[in-house]
Structure 1
Amino acid sequence: MLDDDEAVATLLALASLAATGPSAEGGVDAAATSAYGKLDQFLPARLRPRVVTIRASLETSPQPAPSVAARQLGVFADAIAGRETMAFTYLNARGERTDRRVEPYRQLHHLLRWYLLAWDLERQDWRVFRLDRVSDPARTGDRYVPRPLPAGSASEYLRQGLNRGKQPVRLLVEAPAANVIDALKFQDAEIHAVNDRQTEVGLALDSWQWLVLNLAFLDADFRISAGTAFTRACREFGERLVAAASTP
C-alpha cells in the first residue's frame, strides 16, 4: 500500500534507526537492521527496483547510543494501552539498583535516548526513567485510573527535568534559521525564524563556554539575554579576546 515516497521514507527511517546503538541482540536497532534488508520483499514489484537502488546508494554513519530491546518497548506500550501497572528494576546514574512499581504513561525518544514517563507508586510522584537502565520489566495485572499529565506533554516534562539547574538563555542571531540549526544540532534548543536574516533561540546551558564556542562557528552577530553572571562572563571573555588580538 506504500507509494514511492512512503517506501523511500520507510527505508530511510530504518537506516537511521539501525545506525544508533551497538546493535545488541534483541535491540530495536538490530531489528531495524534486519527489517532494512527485508523491506523490498513486502513491496509491490514496481517499487522494488527503487528500494534496491536507494539501499545501494545509501550509507549512514554510526551514532553511538544505548540500545533498548524492541520487546521491552512493546511490553511498555501494551501496559500503557491497557492502563496496567509495571514492575521493574532500575539502575540510576549513580549505579544504584532499586525495584520500582509504576503507572506507565508515555515512551519518549529524545536526543538518541529512550525514556519512560510514569507515576512512581512508592514515591507518589512523576518520574522519568531511561529505558536502557530498566531490566526485568513485568506487567502486574493491576489496572490504574489515568492521572492528568504533569505538563502540556510528556516531552515538555522531560525537557523541564533535563534542563533543571541550567541557565536559561535567549539569543537573537543575525543569521538564517537553517544556519543556526546546523550550528546547534547537538543541543536541545528552541529555534524560530524571525525573518530571512534573523533567528531567535531559547536554550538552557551548563556553561557559557559551550555557547561561545558554537556561536563562533556561525560567523554572525548576536545578542545574549541571560542572567547577570552568564552575561558578565561572556563580556569578560570578549574583552580578553580583544586584548589578545590587539597590536602590542
Structure 2
Amino acid sequence: MLNLRNLNLSFHGNKVLEDIDLEVKKGEVVTLIGPSGTGKTSLLRCINLLEKPDSGFISLGGLDYDFSSIDKKETLNLRRKTAMVFQQYNLFKNKTAIENVMDAQMVVQKKSKKEAYEKSMEELKRVGLEAKVDAYPNQLSGGQQQRVSIARALAVEPEVILFDEPTSALDPELVGEVLKSIEEVAKSGMTIILVTHEMSFAQDISDKVVFMDKGQVAESGRPEQIFKESDNARTQQFLNKFYAAAQ
C-alpha cells in the first residue's frame, strides 16, 4: 500500500535519514520508535513532503514517485492521499472545532459546506466530541484539541494517517483519551504510521514496529520480536533505558 525505497534526507550537509526502506500494508499500524533526534518525525514529514527528501522513491495508492524529480502536481497528489496529526494540534484558533474539521474538505477537496459539515459531524462523533462542535480551541483541553485534529485527519478520507507523537504535548491524565481515539481509528481499518514514546501502547496496537537509530532503520518486525525477542544490541539498550526511566 505504501512503500519507501532508498530514502535520503540531509540538512545543511548533515545526513538525517539514510537509505530508508519501509513497507506498510493496507490496514496496518506501523509504529516508529527510537531515541529523540533519530529521524522519526523527519521520516513522517518526508512521506507527505513537508520535507523534501534528497532522493528515494515512494509508492502510495498505486502511484510511484521519484523524490529527486517530483513536481508540484505530483506533490499535491501525494499529500491528498495522506493526513497528519501533529504534536501541537495545529488548529486554527479563530475557528470552532467543526470549522477546523470542515476547512480542508472545503478548501482542498472543494466539498460543499453541507457535505463538509455532515462529514465533520460524523468524525467528531467518532472521537467523542459531538458536544463540543461549537467550542473554540481555547475552550478545549489539550486532549480534546488533539481529538479534533484526529477528526480533521479522518474527514479528508486519506489512504494513510501519520501520527507524530500525538500525546507528547499532553498532561499525563489526558493521554489515555487520545490513545483510545487512535485505537478506534486503527480498529476501523485505517492505515497508520505512528511515532510515539508510549511503548506499551506501541506494543499493543502495532502490526509492525520499526526501531530507528541515527537516521537509519536498525530493526523492524512484529511487536513481540522487537520488545521481547530482539537480539539487536542497540534496540535492547534503548528499551532498557526507557523501561528504567519509566519505573
TM interval, shorter chain, is under 0.3
Normalized against structure 1, the TM-score is what?
0.28
Normalized against structure 2, the TM-score is what?
0.28
Asked which structure has the greater RCO (Cα within 8 Å, sep 6+), the reply is 2
Give the number of the structure whose alpha-carbon radius of gyration is greater.
1
